[in-house]
Amino acid sequence: MADHNRNPEVDAWFAEKQHPLDDAMQRARDIILGTDDRIAESIKWKTPTYAYKGNIISFNPANKHVSLMFHRGAEIPGDHPRLEGDGKLVRTMKLADVAEVEAARGDLEAAVRAWCESR
């Protein structure tokens, strides 16, 4: 995992929120950061956001599941069946718990990797 890319601001956000799906969100965070060392995390729009040559993903913490918003998901090359939505740009990946995050790991990594490789 890319511990050197972990941002203390994001650590503080997780500590303050004490979200009921914290374990699942932290696991998704680890997967995203571990996919490519060039990914940086920060707090934007009051939520953890992951970027490489543009914003890739932000958490939507208001949901009753782990909701990952891919800012420009429609532009990610390849087939990513877990990305939902039919808008012009945004796609989301919704995961219920740690087990589902783990089951989606390959799909999440593939979408993040495809974004990074296409930039």
Please indicate whether residue 3 or residue 28 has the higher confidence score (pLDDT).
28
Whether residue 78 contacts residue 110, with contact meaning beta carbons closer than 8 Å, is answered with yes
List of residues 6+ apart from 1 with CB closer than 8 A: 30, 33, 34
Instruction: Tell me the pLDDT tens digit for each residue of 52-111.
Output: 999 999 999 877 899 999 999 999 999 999 999 999 999 999 999 999 999 999 999 999
pTM for the model stands at 0.94
Please indicate whether residue 4 or residue 12 has the higher confidence score (pLDDT).
12
**What pLDDT sits at residue 1?**
47
Q: What whole-number distance in Å separates Cα of residue 92 and Cα of residue 94?
A: 6
Domain count, the chain: 1
What is the Cβ-side half-sphere exposure of residue 76, based on CA atoms within 13 angstroms? Answer: 29
Whether residue 91 contacts residue 83, with contact meaning beta carbons closer than 8 Å, is answered with yes
Whether residue 78 contacts residue 87, with contact meaning beta carbons closer than 8 Å, is answered with no
For the cut 70, the answer to whether the pLDDT of residue 16 exceeds it is yes
CATH classification of the domain holding 73: 3.90.1150.200
For the cut 70, the answer to whether the pLDDT of residue 2 exceeds it is no
Q: What whole-number distance in Å separates Cα of residue 24 and Cα of residue 28?
A: 6
Residue 73 has what DSSP assignment? G
Can you give the residue range of the structural domain that contains 88?
3-118
